[in-house]
Amino acid sequence: MKNPIITIVFAALVFLSMSSCRKWSETANGSLIVVTNKGGQTLGYDTASGINLLFDKGFAFKDLSKDGKLDLYEDWRLPADERAKDLASKMSIEQIAGLMLYSAHQAIPAGVTRFGAATYNGKPYAESGAKPYDLTDQQAQFLRDDNLRHVLVTTVENPEVAALWNNKVQALCEGIGLGIPANNSSDPRHQATSTAEYNVGSEGQISLWPGSLGMAATFDPEIVRHFGQIASREYRALGISTALSPQIDLGTEPRWARFSGTFGESPRLSTDMARAYVDGFQTSSGDKEIAGGWGYTSVNAMIKHWPGGGPEEGGRDAHFSYGKYAVYPGNNLADQLLPFTEGAFKLEGSTKMASAVMPYYTISWGVDTKYKENVGNSYSAYLINDLLRGTYGFEGVACTDWGVTKDNPAVNSFGTTSWGVESLSVAERHYKAIMAGMDQFGGNNDKGPVVEAYAMGVKEHGEEFMRKRFEESAVRLLKNIFRVGLFENPYLDVEISKAAVGNPDFMKAGYEAQLKSIVMVKNSGKTLPLKKTLTAYVPKRFTPAGRNFFGMETPASLNYPVSIDVVRKYFSVTDNPGEADFALVFITSPNSGSGYDPEDLRKGGNGYVPISLQYGPYKAVDARDTSIAGGDPLEKFTNRSYKNKQVTAVNTTDLKMVVDARKALQGKPVIVIVDVSKPMVFSEFEKEVQAILLTFGVQDQAVMDIVSGAAEPSGLLPFQMPADMKTVELQKEDVPYDMTCHVDAEGNTYDFGFGMNWGGVISDARTEKYKKTAR
């Protein structure tokens, strides 16, 4: 018999030996377990998911495949590329198909109409008794049954709810299949709300920044980089690891509905802004870095929209069939590509290149000189395989915009955008996009069409070829999940999330950026700044009933266009113009609609009408006789010209506000604040007012700080302001700086790079660096 004392001593020595080699420790927070590897990556898992730990050389690893052995993809010591290839080789076609899906919009909690509408145990949220962070029936289904792992998050109730929802999603994903975590994403969500109020030390749901045009108006890429660094930390605290941004289309077509999402019309400025934005979002440093600049504060940047969505003919947008064509009358695709090829593809940071790209819905008319196809960009082998991947060496994920494989029921139907491939089936569209070089399908929760596409490929090319093609996409998609550390720990600490999102330092940085984004284009007689002892008259704005970008009806309203409580903190306020020392008139840039009017069609026209950049009636006598592009299965004609048709801006009452205020003030100063979404014609009112400030999505408080002199304007125009609509009609959709600009009563030209401070016209290092001749 063995000596029991010797056995005990031996066991003790083994235990001590193992303990001395152990390099990990764990803590519990409810069902969440955090495992700290000394000198290695931190792990997180949910006990409910059934995950066990594996050990090697004293380190702990997650057994995501649940097979009891350490697979290459589970080994956090290996490079992301090697791990991704190993995991892709283990995945079934159904699992890869699910990985190639990007969900439709998900609100947390879900609503009952339009984007994010869903149920909880078959009932609407309000009737279900569900918690706001519970998964919807639809989310559980597409995660479990369709193997979807990329989720587009829209509204969230608050950071706590977002964190708890993320943890539920990740626990479900961890416990099924190969344990692939969810890569949650977001469209831009940091746009300032005008009525929000900033105070030193204030906290919010998320930090508030100017819109993209406002960022561009600072002419300072470092502000954009800093925004990216802050926004990425807030995103990660919300469980978001991919940003469906930045939008780096050139704003060379001034009428385009999405102009406001661009960095303006300058190729060089847009290129520098694109690079700074992506660097800020993707780069982790110090103890947050895992490898190659990627890490725990990194957020994948999905740049959009390849090869530039800006040159829409007549400014009509490609979310709708009536705006499906991008045109190049100036033969200037080269400038449209620069923010991608010289900006987002050539980063200064260690991540080197944006990790994902989204082509726009458009048919880039006549660009394909090889296959001669006029199809939506995501279906173009020339634009994706040849140009994007071949010529420019893009190595990341290519994801379609949302809804490109759906059938289109009407010319003015929103979000059903299978342009150029309308005759194909849904599965055939998926197959064509995959063979063109696409990896992922935005807005598709169903793996079925992707699996069907695989079968089509097998029939045409054989199993080996098609398996290799699917694994190629899987590797690209998986690398973006591995590099940000989600395989090790996708879970959030709720208290840390609450403290990170909208913290005072982040809020302060956002507010300072808002101040720097405001552009002063007129200050006759140095009207501004105004003393706080004065009395302001602020007219109410009437907004007639109409339709928004999505075609949804909007009701008429009569309200103050500004938070009157904010104004009262700076000036006395009166509703009687006779008692006022000055008027503050808040308006928005002209909005004449989408460029398509079913009423025109009913009256025997082709449905196409002008998009006007002025408030008053406009007749398009200088428009093209024949459109450059045209044709749709739902139309019996190809000429989309709107020549000699007339429109009036929906918000023409904004012009009336200015004119009426000028009359009512009887010579006293009128200051106009325009919330600008695209270029506009100023000749209708500029001579009638003393000062004009332009904003691009800022808080009312930031405007008041400028008006009162608490801050000095420093923004510059990131695009031209046209002298009239004739120059708008004659400019070329793909060419920057080709309009005749407005010259005001003071002799100043509202051209790219123009702006004023208290001393007059700004001339500094920014205006020199980004002058119009610079490309």
Q: Which residues contact 136 (CB under 8 A, 6 or more apart)?
A: 106, 110, 118, 119, 120
DSSP string covering 521-569, please? Answer: EEEGGG--S--TTSEEE---EEE--EE-TTS-EE--EEE-SS-HHHHHT
Two tokens at 528? 């501004």
The number of beta carbons lying within 10 Å of the beta carbon of residue 463 is: 12
CA-nearest of 91, 86, 132, 129 to 110 is 132
Q: Are 340 and 331 in contact (CB under 8 A)?
A: no
Q: Are 258 and 232 in contact (CB under 8 A)?
A: no
Tell me if the pTM is above 0.85. Answer: yes
DSSP string covering 153-164, please? Answer: EEEES-HHHHHH
Q: Which element (helix H / strand E) includes 761? A: strand 760-761
Cβ neighbourhood burial of 424 (10 Å; 0-12, 13-18, 19+): middle
Q: Evaluate the CA torsion angle 90, 96, 102, 108 in order and state its sign.
A: negative
DSSP annotation of 137 = H
- d(CA 464, CA 733) in angstroms, rounded, equals 45
For the chain, residues with pLDDT lower than 70 are: 1-20, 114-116, 193-204, 549-551, 774-775
DSSP string covering 318-340, please? Answer: TTSGGG-EE--TT--HHHHHHII
Q: Is the peptide bond before 529 cis (omega within 30 degrees of 0)?
A: yes
pLDDT of residue 201: 42
pLDDT tens digits for 538-551?
Answer: 999 988 887 776 66
Place of tokens 């380190």: 59
Q: Are strands 572-574 and 535-537 parallel, antiparallel or unpaired?
A: parallel
Cβ neighbourhood burial of 137 (10 Å; 0-12, 13-18, 19+): middle
The count of residues in the chain is: 775
> In the chain, how many H helices and how many E strands?
21, 32
DSSP annotation of 619 = E
Provide the CA 627 distance to its chain's centre, in angstroms: 30
Phi, psi of 306 (to 5 degrees): -60, 140
pLDDT tens digits for 363-420?
Answer: 999 999 999 999 999 999 999 999 999 999 999 999 999 999 999 999 999 989 999 9
pLDDT of residue 115: 66
Phi, psi of 730 (to 5 degrees): -85, -15
Q: Beta partners for 586?
A: 673
Q: Are 252 and 310 in contact (CB under 8 A)?
A: yes
Place of tokens 């030996």: 17
pLDDT of residue 546: 74
Q: Are strands 553-554 and 535-537 parallel, antiparallel or unpaired?
A: unpaired
DSSP string covering 708-747, please? Answer: TTSS------SS--BSSHHHHHHS-TT-SS-SPBPB-TTS
pLDDT of residue 9: 47
DSSP annotation of 677 = S
CA dihedral 122, 127, 132, 137 (to 10 degrees): 0
Two tokens at 524? 């006759």
Two tokens at 181? 């975590």
pLDDT of residue 23: 87
